[in-house]
Structure 1
Amino acid sequence: MDDLAGFLRTRRSRIDPASVGIPTDRHRRVEGLRREEVAHLSGVSVDYYVRLEQGRATQPSQQVLDALARVLGLDETERGHLRRLACQRPRRTRPSSGRIRPELLRVLDLVTDAPALIMDHRMDVLAANRLASALYGLPIPGLNTARHIFLEENERGLYADWDSCTLDVVGHLRLAAGKHPDDPRLASVIGELSMGSERFRRLWARADVRARGHGRKAFQHPLVGLLELHQENFALPDGSGQELLVLSATPGSPSEDGLRLLAGLGATSDHPRAAVTPRP
């Protein structure tokens, strides 16, 4: 699903030659740096770097990777992605059952004033509290949020910052593809999005990677209006790749009032929060 050669090509194309001291003129036709320029700046032979970009060189040393990361201006997330791609070996991925420990489900029930959910690396929602179901307007366990954003909600307008959300989703899936190159369900999600969304195809071709952490998320809810929330991601300590996501509102803000109203509306419906196996 992802490869070292393609990642190097996309990172090379985004570097401004002038930023690394290479003069340019109007006759230059290459976008970003040339292969030989990357090789020279990183201290490796041109032949070796060409073989890297052609997928004919395997397992470059840590020194070479560090030099390439420096020349290509990679951040910490991209550096980790580069190392994983360079050291990738065929391995089996144990399919996730999608089951959540009862203790975690109790934690979700304790979060009553904020939407909270548990998501895996494929962006499948494995469990959610009632307020999260009310926010999305549907029974949420089994929902794939990447599919939801690209194929279902781009016209309806639930995501007030839809463009930004799509960048985050593609960056996360790129990162997940590097960590789990042999995950068939992840490959299926990526394939479905590639077939169904032109924007996804364009963003995927950029090979950007992003780590999920925290930040602003805005929703234009059809019942309560604009909700400007803050998302915090907590990686579960069991090595499953699952995360607890909590969306909170600033105390005293209109968004807090909106969540309170939404909670009251959600109390009249019966959205399940139990973990289920996501659809393949």
Structure 2
Amino acid sequence: MTGNLLGEFLRARRAALGPRDVGLVSHGVRRVTGLRREEVADLAGVNADYYARLEQGRERRPSPQVLDALGRALRLAPDTHAHLHRLAGAPPAGRSSTDRISAALRQLLDGFTGAPAFVINPALDVLAANPRAEALHSPFAAADNLARMVFLDPEGRQFYTDWTSTARATAAHLRQTCGITPDDPRLRSLIDTLTAHSVDFARLWTTHDVLNKTQDTKHLHHPTVGPLTVTYQSFDVRAAPGQQLIVYQPAPDTPTAEALVRLAQGTGSARIA
């Protein structure tokens, strides 16, 4: 996972764009998928040979100005643009997180009595959850890792109503994490497992899409209470860099809010330590 990540990323993003996407006119039969190297170099205003060396791994330290130009040429979204910069430099220091949560964070989790809330690490391991989150995720064989739940647990395709979008976002989040801590052994092990056992993950991993967890709407289906619609928010845990607090919030006085109450009252699942 620590090979020519920058080159792999550039090739994947180049392949994802066609001439029309960047305002170019295509003539004749194209022998490559997406843009040619020379086209990307021209759009970015850099030497074509220099760009080729970047993709081949013979040049690994482009300047921030070159990276910004490549980001514009490849039409990168903000999260993906930041990922490009990380791949071209040293991973930021101090990003490793502990897998233990503080007593204060546990108290905060339990304080969310009306919403499912849980804490994850960069590899999407679920480190702790409040009773409502445990009840919500009770259909899974183990609510231990969000990526494993999406790609390797059969329940994932029923639980996440829009499984395709969820799978894409999950792989993109892990790809972003790899740009921050590429040598993390837990992350490396997870990627290897997902790649070996999920054809869908292996395919999505090659796209090099990048996405940060912030906020979004999720459509879920629990076998006991049926369809659920929640908005999630993610919060960085300042005392433990790398950990995130995720809160699923239903709109008040909706069928989802009522369903989550019924689900919490009927759950007998054990707490996650």
> Which TM-score band (shorter chain)?
over 0.9
In 2, the alpha carbon distance for the partners of 1:140 and 1:246 equals 21
Question: Are the aligned partners of 1:35 and 1:50 in contact in 2 as well (CA < 8 Å)?
Answer: yes
- Equivalent position of 1:86 in the other structure: 88
- Equivalent position of 1:25 in the other structure: 27
- Equivalent position of 1:215 in the other structure: 216
The correspondence of residues 92-241 of structure 1 with structure 2, limited to 5 A, is 96-137=97-138, 143-154=144-155, 157-238=158-239, 240-241=241-242
Output the aligned Cα RMSD: 2.2
- Equivalent position of 1:278 in the other structure: none
Displacement of 1:141: 8.6
Tell me the SS of whatever aligns to 1:262. Answer: helix
Aligned identity (percent) is: 43
> Please, which of 52, 56, 65 is the counterpart of residue 63 of structure 1?
65
Question: Are the aligned partners of 2:156 and 2:163 in contact in 1 as well (CA < 8 Å)?
Answer: no
Question: Are the aligned partners of 1:146 and 1:169 in contact in 2 as well (CA < 8 Å)?
Answer: yes
**Residues 68, 129 of structure 1: alpha-carbon distance in 2 compared, 3 angstrom cutoff:** same
**Residues 98, 140 of structure 1: alpha-carbon distance in 2 compared, 3 angstrom cutoff:** farther
In 2, the alpha carbon distance for the partners of 1:167 and 1:58 equals 28
Question: Are the aligned partners of 1:17 and 1:24 in contact in 2 as well (CA < 8 Å)?
Answer: yes
Instruction: Name whichever of 173-182 and 2-11 sits farther off.
Output: 2-11
Instruction: Name whichever of 1-10 and 133-142 sits farther off.
Output: 133-142
Question: Are the aligned partners of 1:125 and 1:140 in contact in 2 as well (CA < 8 Å)?
Answer: no
Displacement of 1:254: 0.7
Question: Are the aligned partners of 1:111 and 1:129 in contact in 2 as well (CA < 8 Å)?
Answer: yes
- Equivalent position of 1:272 in the other structure: 271
Tell me the SS of whatever aligns to 1:271. Answer: coil
Displacement of 1:92: 9.4
Tell me the SS of whatever aligns to 2:113. Answer: coil
**Residues 33, 261 of structure 1: alpha-carbon distance in 2 compared, 3 angstrom cutoff:** same
Displacement of 1:140: 9.4
Question: Are the aligned partners of 2:173 and 2:210 in contact in 1 as well (CA < 8 Å)?
Answer: yes
TM-score, length basis structure 2: 0.93
Q: Deviations over 1:185-244 (max 9, x none)?
A: 101000000000000011001110111111111221111111111111111113521111
**Residues 85, 129 of structure 1: alpha-carbon distance in 2 compared, 3 angstrom cutoff:** same
Question: Are the aligned partners of 1:141 and 1:273 in contact in 2 as well (CA < 8 Å)?
Answer: no
The amino acid of 1:99's aligned partner reads R
Displacement of 1:27: 1.4
Tell me the SS of whatever aligns to 2:24. Answer: coil
Displacement of 1:26: 4.3
The amino acid of 1:170's aligned partner reads A
Question: Are the aligned partners of 1:93 and 1:183 in contact in 2 as well (CA < 8 Å)?
Answer: no
The amino acid of 1:114's aligned partner reads A
Question: Are the aligned partners of 1:92 and 1:182 in contact in 2 as well (CA < 8 Å)?
Answer: no
Displacement of 1:155: 6.3
Structure 1 unaligned blocks of 5 or more: 275-280
Instruction: Name whichever of 196-205 and 18-27 sits farther off.
Output: 18-27
Tell me the SS of whatever aligns to 2:210. Answer: coil
TM-score, length basis structure 1: 0.90
Question: Are the aligned partners of 2:151 and 2:198 in contact in 1 as well (CA < 8 Å)?
Answer: yes
Tell me the SS of whatever aligns to 2:159. Answer: coil
The amino acid of 1:101's aligned partner reads S
Corresponding residue pairs, total: 271
Q: Deviations over 1:46-89 (max 9, x none)?
A: 11111000001021011111111111111110111000001136
